Chains A and B, each alone.
Chain A
Amino acid sequence: MNFLDFEKPIAELEGKIADLRHLSDDDGINIADEVARLQAKVEKQLKATYAKLTPWQKTQVARHPDRPHCLDYVRQLIEDFEPLAGDRTFAEDHAIVGGVGRFRGRSVMVIGQEKGHDTETRVKHNFGMAMPDGYRKARRLMRMADRFRLPVVTLVDTAGAYPGVAAEERGQAEAIARAIETCLDIRVPLVSCIIGEGGSGGAIALASANSVLMLEHSIYSVISPEGCAGILWRSGDQAQAAAEALKLTAQDLHRLKVIDEIVPEPLGGAHRSRKAAIESVGDALERHLSKLIPTEGGVLRARRRDKFIEMGRNGLE
């Protein structure tokens, strides 16, 4: 288990519990009571800590290496998954994965950024930072879904689109712009969930959706707190202050009416109970899809477009 800075007291308690268990294994001493007491303390701590995470702490939770990633969701939620590859133009970008599969009985198109969980997979998926090819693949899959009347589910988890020479050469900006355009054009239900980091243009390229959901401790922002601090505070050390100012938490974004629903995470964050977290995302996705599916395609498209054309116009409540 990887512990974050602010989880130190919890880490200590869990260390103690592990020690005790170790003891009891060796000597057969019954310390179950003690373990239970400590366990309760851990839970209390977790509850207290996670109930009032600061934006910067949420940023760390959203980036937690043990947090379930896109393919974890696909494995648990999608049956008969048929992964699809390639943008049919230049390359297969593993930073964006996608394919058709059955989600709770329905055929759907799933698209999302995959960060990877160890060195090998992280390199393979480029840490979830897509090249233009990835966005062009996403576009291709959305168009295909449109053709076969399949609802589209996107799972967003990226620090942002990859900033590199090759990416610029092949038109990163154009690829993102077209992906946004396609999101806003298709006549099938489009539901997005931000499961970790929603990093800027690279995120909205998949998240211009009918319903946008966010896991409780995920973040969604126009720029990373570090990047923002570097520019506006002229010092990357001010990331904490930038995270506060940017209003990037699910709770803030719900207040700003940018997202439609917050999906609660299990106690101590999605990384502590991955299965439960994935299941609750699944439930929320299903709920939104069921609401959208009976609606006629043209109406879905129009509503999606109206929603975004109003974005920011009316200010706050």
Chain B
Amino acid sequence: MNWLTNFVRPKIQQLVRPKEVPENLWKKCPACGQMIFHRELEKNLEVCTHCDHHMRLPVKKRLEALFDDGEYKRIELPKAPEDPLKFRDLKRYNDRIKDARHKTGEQDAIIVAHGSVGGVRAVIAAFDFSFMGGSMGVAVGEGIVAAAELAVLQDAPLIVIPASGGARMQEGILSLMQMARTTVAVDKVKDAGLPYIVLLTDPTTGGVTASFAMLGDIHVSEPGAVIGFAGARVIESTIRETLPEGFQRAEYLREHGMVDTVVHRHHLKDKLANILNLLINRGPAGQVVPFERKGVFGAGETTTAETKPAGKPEPTPAARPAPAAPAAKAQPTKAPDEEVAETAAPADEDARPIDAAPAEAPKKEPAETGEPSEPKKG
């Protein structure tokens, strides 16, 4: 008994008991190798505080970061047939799905939400990479279709945020069919004259890239994101070609004409807000809405975010000073405008030219989208 109680039990407990110093308090940046305190990393939207390397951002955090005030409404997606092929490899597909659902608390690899982005009502369909690598099966196709239909119904732009290894092999041909299916879906948005924006995040490959993800009116990407059709390993092993520096990275795709702009995660929301406001063109330019600059475009904030030392907390979108309307009302129209012109300059090089242009303006058609912008003019 002695041996059991004094030796075996402690050993077992050691295995089972939570470790006194959890390993995940500090996270190592895969790019620069520096250790970052997990809270700090979270505040910084999973961007390395030392080298600006963009790590994967959990899908809900991403939605919070993009929607105004971090507020959005999710829609429930229609149920897709489960395991249509009764697929089994080393494990049953059914079990893989169950595991993924258990792990993520989600039904499948896509979330569809709506809210406003920079005062513009928008629908966002975002992939959850932690759910089976964000792979696209019938349920994900269903998500894109639902998002597109919602966008048309709401007369709102559609933003899709892929983070996916490609088609879900376990659904065989039906996953391949989702390429055609999602293509029709996003075309419906385009046919309705609404902007369809793709925000490419790491990674976007395979059948996802070769369908709706490359059909956007505008392609925005995060720095360093892997974007491609064939996997780098496939290319290397089957073709025996050496891969060029930065191959299939966002910057590489921009240089090859496939991506419009590569934007730092901290500036993404401003960028998308500006693009949406410009594309839907609800009114004459020039009558700039100051609050957009302050609260949402926040040029001052973003520049400090880039240069500031690691310790300073980054304003998370939820914690941002009241955005839109209140700020607008509080401020006179001209002063902030000028201030913006100056402070906007040092921001991200991609963001600047667009940012410099006035974004928001009073609407011609009052109701519909972007209500929050109304008050300031009225």
Instruction: Determine whether the beta carbon of A169 is less than 8 Å from that of B169.
Output: no
What are 22 A-B pairs with beta-carbon distances under 8 A? A161-B230, A164-B230, A165-B239, A165-B241, A165-B243, A165-B247, A168-B228, A168-B247, A172-B210, A177-B215, A178-B214, A181-B183, A200-B167, A201-B206, A204-B180, A227-B234, A246-B169, A256-B85, A256-B173, A258-B177, A311-B181, A314-B81
Q: Which segment, of A7-15, A32-40, A78-86, A228-236, faces chain B?
A: A228-236
Instruction: Determine whether the beta carbon of A246 is less than 8 Å from that of B258.
Output: no
Which residues on the B side are within 8 Å of A313 (C-beta)? 78, 80-81, 138, 142
Tell me the complex Cα distance, A257–B84, Å. Answer: 12
Instruction: Determine whether the beta carbon of A315 is less than 8 Å from that of B241.
Output: no
Tell me the complex Cα distance, A83–B247, Å. Answer: 35
Interface flag for A188 (CB, 8 Å): no
Interface flag for A221 (CB, 8 Å): yes
Mark B residues whose CB is within 8 Å of A: 78, 80-81, 84-85, 87-90, 137-138, 141-142, 145, 167, 169-181, 183-185, 187, 206-207, 209-215, 228-231, 234-235, 238-239, 241, 243-244, 247-248, 256-258
Q: Contacts A180-B211, A246-B172; is A312 near B81 (CB within 8 Å)?
A: yes
Instruction: Determine whether the beta carbon of B187 is less than 8 Å from that of A312.
Output: no
* B183 contact from A164, A184, A220, Cβ within 8 A: A184
Chain B: minimal CB distance from A267 (Å): 27
**Among residues 41 to 62 in chain A, which have CB atoms less than 8 Å away from a CB atom of chain B?**
none
Instruction: Determine whether the beta carbon of A228 is less than 8 Å from that of B169.
Output: yes
Tell me the complex Cα distance, A283–B53, Å. Answer: 58
Which residues on the A side are within 8 Å of B78 (C-beta)? 313
* B89 contact from A178, A227, A233, A305, Cβ within 8 A: A233
* A305 contact from B184, B211, B235, Cβ within 8 A: B184
Which residues on the A side are within 8 Å of B238 (C-beta)? 163
Interface flag for A242 (CB, 8 Å): yes
Instruction: Determine whether the beta carbon of A223 is less than 8 Å from that of B169.
Output: yes
Instruction: Determine whether the beta carbon of B235 is less than 8 Å from that of A222.
Output: no
* B207 contact from A168, A201, A315, Cβ within 8 A: A201
Chain A: minimal CB distance from B197 (Å): 15
**Among residues 200 to 248 in chain A, which have CB atoms less than 8 Å away from a CB atom of chain B?**
200-201, 204-205, 208, 220-223, 227-228, 231-234, 241-242, 245-248
Instruction: Determine whether the beta carbon of B84 is less than 8 Å from that of A256.
Output: yes
As a 0/1 sequence over residues 165 to 196 of chain A, the CB contacts with chain B under 8 angstroms (1 = contact) are 10111111110111011011100000000000
Chain B: minimal CB distance from A317 (Å): 11
**Among residues 238 to 276 in chain A, which have CB atoms less than 8 Å away from a CB atom of chain B?**
241-242, 245-248, 253, 256, 258
Instruction: Determine whether the beta carbon of B172 is less than 8 Å from that of A308.
Output: no
Chain A: minimal CB distance from B213 (Å): 7
Interface flag for A316 (CB, 8 Å): yes
Tell me the complex Cα distance, A170–B230, Å. Answer: 13
Instruction: Determine whether the beta carbon of B177 is less than 8 Å from that of A171.
Output: no
Instruction: Determine whether the beta carbon of A163 is less than 8 Å from that of B184.
Output: no
Q: Contacts A163-B230, A163-B235, A164-B235; is A208 near B180 (CB within 8 Å)?
A: yes
Number of interface residues of A (CB under 8 A): 53
Which residues on the B side are within 8 Å of A161 (C-beta)? 210, 229-230
Tell me the complex Cα distance, A305–B87, Å. Answer: 28
Instruction: Determine whether the beta carbon of B181 is less than 8 Å from that of A232.
Output: no
Tell me the complex Cα distance, A305–B175, Å. Answer: 17
Of listed B80, B170, B183, B256, residue having the most chain A CB within 10 A: B183
Q: Name the 6 nearest CB pairs between A and B, nearest first.
A: A315-B81, A163-B230, A312-B138, A173-B209, A311-B177, A232-B89
Given contacts A180-B179, A185-B187, list 18 more A-B pairs with CB under 8 A: A163-B235, A164-B241, A165-B241, A168-B235, A170-B256, A172-B229, A184-B184, A201-B179, A201-B207, A208-B180, A242-B89, A245-B85, A245-B88, A245-B172, A256-B174, A308-B181, A308-B184, A311-B141
Which residues on the A side are within 8 Å of B185 (C-beta)? 309
Instruction: Determine whether the beta carbon of B258 is less than 8 Å from that of A247.
Output: no
Tell me the complex Cα distance, A184–B142, Å. Answer: 18
Chain A: minimal CB distance from B158 (Å): 15
Chain A: minimal CB distance from B207 (Å): 6
Q: What residue of chain B has the Cβ atom nearest to residue A242's Cβ?
A: B89
Instruction: Determine whether the beta carbon of B229 is less than 8 Å from that of A201.
Output: yes
Chain B: minimal CB distance from A145 (Å): 19
Which residues on the A side are within 8 Å of B244 (C-beta)? 165
Chain A: minimal CB distance from B142 (Å): 7
Which residues on the A side are within 8 Å of B248 (C-beta)? 168
Which residues on the A side are within 8 Å of B174 (C-beta)? 256, 258, 311-312
Instruction: Determine whether the beta carbon of A222 is less than 8 Å from that of B176.
Output: yes
Tell me the complex Cα distance, A227–B234, Å. Answer: 9
Which residues on the B side are within 8 Å of A184 (C-beta)? 180, 183-184, 187
Which residues on the B side are within 8 Å of A171 (C-beta)? 214, 256-258
Q: Contacts A171-B256, A312-B171; is A178 near B84 (CB within 8 Å)?
A: no
Which residues on the B side are within 8 Å of A227 (C-beta)? 234
Tell me the complex Cα distance, A227–B169, Å. Answer: 10
Tell me the complex Cα distance, A246–B187, Å. Answer: 29
Instruction: Determine whether the beta carbon of B173 is less than 8 Å from that of A221.
Output: yes
Which residues on the B side are within 8 Å of A220 (C-beta)? 173
Tell me the complex Cα distance, A176–B173, Å. Answer: 17
